Amino acid sequence: MLSRLLFILLTTTLLMMNSFKVKAKDFIWPGGAKIAISLSYDDALNSQLDNAIPALDKYNFKASFYVLPNSTVIRDRMEEWRSAAKNGHELGNHSLYHPCSASLPNRGWVPPHHDLDQYTLIKMIEELSTTNTFLTAIDGNNERTYTPPCGDLTISGKNYLPKVKNNFVAIKGQGIASGFSVLWAPSDVSNVQLIEDIKNISPDVSLINILFHGIGGDHLSVSTKAHAELLKFLSNNQETYYVDSFINIMKYKNIRSSIKYNSLADLNDY
């Protein structure tokens, strides 16, 4: 089934603040769930406001939206993004200009002024800091997670994430605990495929990151039907799957990983 997904990463998720020592199969999420589901949406698209958020709100699911300050959809629909944040959805950092490496295959769409190959480290640091400030002006929050555009991590031949990681609670797609989490970026898949892939996930996996783009429109799109049926499935199986924003999931994981506990009751005050 996964061959039909745009499978950009199968890796662990980096816990930025604390090392994680509990085995995935022993980790318990809120409500006793065995698997956390992070639903995230990249690039600040109209179809996310029009289709994804109403569908999420129907089930009171909180998700993460990795937005771009230079997007016209941010400029033209600012109050809708602000309302989504007030309703508990995360506005995450996806950089200022979405720089990607133009030298990689099928990257002819990357404009020269947004080519990560031409960036310096200080330029990237400044852009991520500016984006954090911009997002704080929208939602008032001072904590943020980050999803690197295109999954590209190299500037001048070196991974830039170690230089920026302290600005974020977590960075999606980066990890130290092999097998704990997976990251999928589906497009043009059916609800059956999405649901079956979740059902058939390895028992060693405790966190599934599903990274969408367009929902019923825009680019790398998943149909509104497939998206809606996935949410319905997750809502009907909340004893197994804990759905929340990426930042809430990682905060919980931070706390759970850094304290000694005897039962889920130890986290009642979280």
CATH code of the domain covering residue 137: 3.20.20.370
- pLDDT tens, the chain, 270 aa long: 433 444 333 333 333 333 344 566 678 999 999 999 999 999 999 999 999 999 999 999 999 999 999 999 999 999 999 999 999 999 999 999 999 999 999 999 999 999 999 999 999 999 999 999 999 999 999 999 999 999 999 999 999 999 999 999 999 987 546 678 999 999 999 999 999 999 999 998 999 999 999 999 999 999 999 999 999 999 999 999 999 999 999 999 888 776 544 333 333 333
pTM listed for this prediction: 0.87
What's the domain range around 213?
2-264
Q: What are phi and psi of 261, to 5 degrees?
A: -140, 155
Torsion region of 101: left, alpha or beta (phi above 0 gives left; psi -120 to 50 gives alpha): beta
Asked whether residue 147 is domain-assigned, the answer is: yes
The 10 Å Cβ neighbour count of residue 270 is 11
Collapsing DSSP states into helix, strand and coil, what is residue 194?
helix
DSSP codes of every residue in 214-254: -BSSSSS-B-HHHHHHHHHHHHHTTTTEEEE-HHHHHHHHH
CA dist 46 and 66 (Å) reads 13
At residue 168, what is the residue type? F
CA dist 68 and 65 (Å) reads 10
Q: What are phi and psi of 3, to 5 degrees?
A: -65, -20
Do 269 and 233 meet the contact criterion of CB atoms below 8 Å apart? no
Do 41 and 66 meet the contact criterion of CB atoms below 8 Å apart? yes
Do 154 and 104 meet the contact criterion of CB atoms below 8 Å apart? no
48's tokens: 């996310």
Spell out the residues 6+ positions from residue 40 whose beta carbon is closer than 8 angstroms to its own. Answer: 63, 64, 65, 66, 92, 147, 172, 209, 210, 211, 212, 246
For the chain, give the number of residues: 270
Domain tally, the chain: 1
Asked whether residue 269 is domain-assigned, the answer is: no
H/E stretch holding 64: strand 64-67
At residue 24, what is the residue type? A
Q: What is the pLDDT of residue 266?
A: 37
Asked whether residue 242 is domain-assigned, the answer is: yes
Asked whether residue 270 is domain-assigned, the answer is: no
Q: What is the pLDDT of residue 22?
A: 52
CA dist 177 and 78 (Å) reads 37
